[in-house]
Amino acid sequence: MYNRLFEKGHIGSVQIKNRIVMTAMTTGYAGLDGTPTEQLCRYYEERARGGVGLIVTEIFRVNQVHGVAFPRQLYALNPMNIQPLAQMVDRVHQYGTKIFAQIHHGGSTNSPELNNGRIVAPSAVPNVSGIMPDPLTLEEIEELKQQFIGTAAACQAAGFDGVELHGAHGYLLCQFMSAAFNKRDDQYGGSIENRCRIVTEMIQGIKYVCGKDFPVAVRISCDEHDPFHPDSITLEEGVQIARILEAAGADMIDVSNGNYFVPYGENEEPYSYSEGWRAPETTAVKQAVNIPVTGVSNIKTPDCAEKLLEAGVCDFVGIGRGSIADPEWGRKAARGRNDLIHHCIGCLYCFESLMAVGYVRCSVNPQAGREAAFSRRMRKNKAGDKVTVVGGGVAGMEAAATLAKRGFTVTLLEKENELGGELNLAGATAPYKNKVSWLRTTLEEEMKLAGVNVLTGCEADVETVKKLEPRAVFLATGGKPIVPDLPGISGKNVVSAYDVIRGNVRPSGKVVIVGAGLTGLETAELLFRNGEAESVTVVDMLEKIGANMYPSIFIDVTHQMEGKPLTLRAGMKLKEVTETGIICDDLANGKEETITADCVVLAMGIRSDNELIRQFEEAFDRVIPLGQTHRNPGRIATSMADGYIAARGFDPKV
């Protein structure tokens, strides 16, 4: 079905079994000593088993003095680390998958706190936080080159099939190649050939030490898209850089773009970025060189990957977050089962969790970050015990499918006429949010294959569930919208954000939205798309609008409303709703303020339905609350994890 995707390919002397490359992504799973933990080994092993042709690992640091980008980062220059790295490589190789080590230095993007209070760069150009780095001396550059070359040699000793130099995204090697950040007047600055010199000398050094048949790939930003630095890399220069690197002996160019000054998060690609959006730039590089090109372009589906390969955009397709979302992306594509792939939906929970807790997790894959913990096969229920799942949202569908795969006889009851729950709302706020609906389709198909008995349009009260005689009830009915007990809150001019998203009401005129989380801001975006709102004011009692949102998601949503009559007010606590608007307490100055509005939309979040839980717990011995009825309501990630973890470990005898 995907003929080009599953053709063999070559990078230098190394044959790759297909055209799927799992591109490098920091996970936070490595040990503090730079060795791969069991979790990291299991993570890569699962992706190799799942059909990836080539894995490019997360970043290896090259020194401990000014090269620390992340606390848990691979490190090969300690001889004691070679054996555990070799064991990780062996676990990947057993499935016929090749593995390259990505070698990296963050330059001025590194944190002084992790680098003895000092960060370095080609030149004294402030980083995105305004911190001034120290320019590298010629002696430090020579030492750095030897550390990159030494890291490559150590990785070769550990059995890696090749290495990739990270020269993209505004990190050190990218900074050297970019005239915006390289102001040197020696042999490493000035002309584009000089700016590329540190990379070309690294390539040549690695080839000299490791042999000409040891592949060296380079990841580049072919266009930095940086509006703040006029001298940043443009596509024309990016093409020149690719040619220079090829001439120096590079075996593959991994094409990306952007740096950390890019204002709209294109290095992370939230919901609104379309599949294949980088294709024109990747094509320009592909047409300029004779070595293989890997294209990363927000590729989420096998259909997109196949089209890019057929069109000659690239030789290999980079499936990064798609591999986190589903380690069996390749195997499912090979079987023609796109409907069973847990596609990346662009929610950026992987980035959010990395920043919040230090390691990657995934909204649509509850096993991501838990591969080692869940390495044993799930216990089968040979008796076929009956279990009822109440609620056909994310948590309910994931629990039902997992229980059925274990051998339980599962009935799922959903009061609406269709499955999906909050997924249906999340996917309805904007056309680009249709990616969210992919998860519903996949979960429905998984339940079908597992044999779950699904009853929609069925109100599941206690008496209805009793008739099914279940050994346990998994309660995943969702939470209730928060409606504070305030004067005027029941007025005719007050509606729920959920009713707006469902299309039950279409506010017009001046609208005020109470609650500036993701739901509130996406409701504002929807109102502007509908074209009936004269203006929208979003208020929140927190000190910052979108305080609980991942920054790139917040930027992406608000960017969609640029130029619209949108007002965002933080520190405003709702006090009363009137016929002509709302009255708030301005928490910053303690004064009362009136905001005029024709319609008031409540988007204040969801709370657990504790009364429903109590009713079921009184009627049944085993009740397992999930998702929004349990904790952290409204998150796909926690709902998926709740459903999977509870269903995976459930024992009717305990």
The residue assigned the tokens 């089968």 is 380
Q: Does residue 263 carry a pLDDT above 90?
A: no
Q: Does residue 633 carry a pLDDT above 60?
A: no
The tokens for 577 are 């709703």
Task: Determine the average pLDDT of the residues in 278-302.
Answer: 97
Share of the chain above pLDDT 90, in %: 92
Distance CA 610, CA 633 (A): 13
Task: Determine the average pLDDT of the residues in 9-29.
Answer: 98
User: Taking every pair of C-alpha atoms in the chain, what is the biggest distance, in angstroms?
Assistant: 82
Task: Determine the average pLDDT of the residues in 61-71.
Answer: 96
Give the alpha-carbon dihedral of 462, 468, 470, 472, to 10 degrees: -30
Helices (H) and strands (E) in the chain, counts: 21, 28
Q: Is the dihedral of CA 577, 580, 586, 589 positive or negative?
A: negative
Concatenated DSSP letters of 430-470: SGGGGHHHHHHHHHHHHHHHHT-EEEES----HHHHHTT--
Distance CA 115, CA 434 (A): 42
Q: Reading across the β-sheet that carries 386-390, which strands appear in turn?
A: 453-456, 409-414, 386-390, 472-475, 623-625
Task: Determine the average pLDDT of the residues in 204-218.
Answer: 98
Length of the chain counted residue by residue: 654
Task: Determine the average pLDDT of the residues in 46-65.
Answer: 98
pLDDT value, residue 630: 47
pLDDT digits (tens, 9 = 90+) for 69-88: 999 999 999 999 999 999 99
Q: Does residue 632 carry a pLDDT above 60?
A: no
Residues 6+ apart with CB under 8 A from 131: 108, 112, 119
Task: Determine the average pLDDT of the residues in 8-17.
Answer: 98
Q: How would you label 303-321 residue by residue, b for 16+ Cβ within 10 Å and e otherwise?
A: ebbbbbbeeebbbbbbbbb
CATH class, range 494-606 = alpha beta
CA atoms within 13 A on the CB side of 57: 34
Distance CA 607, CA 517 (A): 14
Determine the straight-line distance between the first and last CA of the chain, rounded to whole angstroms: 46
Q: Does residue 259 carry a pLDDT above 90?
A: yes
Architecture field, domain 9-357:
Alpha-Beta Barrel (3.20)
Task: Determine the average pLDDT of the residues in 165-191.
Answer: 98
Asked whether 213 and 225 are in contact (CB, 8 A), the reply is no
Task: Determine the average pLDDT of the residues in 373-387.
Answer: 96
Task: Determine the average pLDDT of the residues in 94-102.
Answer: 98
pLDDT value, residue 422: 86
Residues 6+ apart with CB under 8 A from 502: 425, 428
Asked whether 539 and 514 are in contact (CB, 8 A), the reply is yes
Distance CA 221, CA 257 (A): 4
Confidence label for 634 from pLDDT (cuts 50, 70 and 90): low
Q: Does residue 635 carry a pLDDT above 90?
A: no
pLDDT digits (tens, 9 = 90+) for 414-472: 999 999 998 888 888 888 888 999 999 999 999 999 999 999 999 899 999 999 999 99
Here the contacts of 305-310 (C-beta below 8 Å, separation 24 or greater) are 305/2, 305/5, 305/19, 305/20, 305/333, 306/2, 306/3, 306/4, 306/5, 307/276, 308/276, 308/279, 308/282, 309/4, 309/5, 309/19, 310/4
Distance CA 508, CA 512 (A): 11
Helix segments in 122-250, DSSP class H: 138-157, 172-177, 192-195, 197-210, 235-248
Asked whether 455 and 412 are in contact (CB, 8 A), the reply is yes
Extract the runs of DSSP E, i.e. beta strands, from 315-359. Answer: 316-318
Q: What is the pTM of this model?
A: 0.95
Confidence label for 581 from pLDDT (cuts 50, 70 and 90): very high
132-136, 185-189, 265-269, 393-397: which has the minimum mean pLDDT?
A: 265-269
Q: What is the DSSP letter of 335?
A: T
Asked whether 67 and 110 are in contact (CB, 8 A), the reply is yes
**Nearest to residue 181, comparing CAs of 254, 233, 255?**
233
Asked whether 473 and 390 are in contact (CB, 8 A), the reply is yes
Confidence label for 533 from pLDDT (cuts 50, 70 and 90): very high
Distance CA 448, CA 400 (A): 10
Structural domain spans, the chain: 9-357, 386-479+608-649, 494-606
Q: Is 624 helix (H, G, I), strand (E, B) or coil?
A: strand
Q: Does residue 629 carry a pLDDT above 70?
A: no
pLDDT value, residue 521: 96
Distance CA 367, CA 45 (A): 13
pLDDT digits (tens, 9 = 90+) for 29-41: 999 999 999 999 9
Task: Determine the average pLDDT of the residues in 100-104.
Answer: 98
Residues pairing with 472 in the sheet: 387
What residues are annotated to the active site?
171
For every residue of 533-600, which 3-state class applies, written as one string?
EEEEEEECCCCCCCCCCCHHHHHHHHHCCCCCCEEEECCEEEEEEECCEEEEEECCCCEEEEEECCEE
Share of the chain above pLDDT 70, in %: 99
Confidence label for 628 from pLDDT (cuts 50, 70 and 90): low
pLDDT value, residue 336: 96
pLDDT value, residue 428: 85
Tell which CATH classification among 3.30.70.1890, 3.40.50.720, 3.75.10.10, 3.10.180.10 matches the domain 386-479+608-649.
3.40.50.720
pLDDT digits (tens, 9 = 90+) for 474-487: 999 988 889 999 99
